[in-house]
Structure 1
Amino acid sequence: MSSTHGAAPPPTTLHITLVHSAQGLLAYTTMAQPQRGAPCSAVESAALGMLNLARGSGLQVVYGYNPAFELLKDLSDPEGLGWQSTPEIRQRAVAVRGGQE
């Protein structure tokens, strides 16, 4: 998960959302599925610790997708819902996403 030649740098922001839904207890995360033995950044390591606790508590972990984060992306994207959002909502959505445009 750490940066390799030509790969994207490791994330500085990851999002985890815990949900109790009709499908059961879920932990959604923007983190990619970890690979055994692959190095990881401090942010990824902390997220893995939290996700392992969630899994141990019976939550199903869904990697690479977070519905709350997707909403924030849509609210800050002029091609998504951003054109319907006020500038303040767009700015706050971008800030919650860690400043990622």
Structure 2
Amino acid sequence: MMEWRPRHPTRWNRFCTSTLKQFLPKLEQSGGREGEGHRHELQSMLGDNRVRPIVEAVFSTGVHNVHAPNVEFALAVYVHPYPNNVLSVWVYLASLVRT
């Protein structure tokens, strides 16, 4: 992320990162069907921040191209193991801009 934004500081929001880490196992258990429910819960925890979940390839979304002076980022990763060396990997990257 920081390399993709060489002219802008990349600040990480640790509170949001911690919150996202709590949601990833729930998304795994529900097969990704948590949808709007988890977004509303997350929004209520984060207050005045706007959250953009990233569900496609990170770079292709351009999430790193947010140039607002107060932008912060949060990243959480969850890996759930299954038999036969199968891993389910969940990545949640958000850009937050205080409104």
Q: Taking structure 1 as the reference length, what is the TM-score of the superposition?
A: 0.27
Which structure carries more strand by proportion? 2
Q: Which structure has the larger Rg?
A: 1
Structure number with higher relative contact order (C-alpha < 8 Å, ≥ 6 residues apart): 2
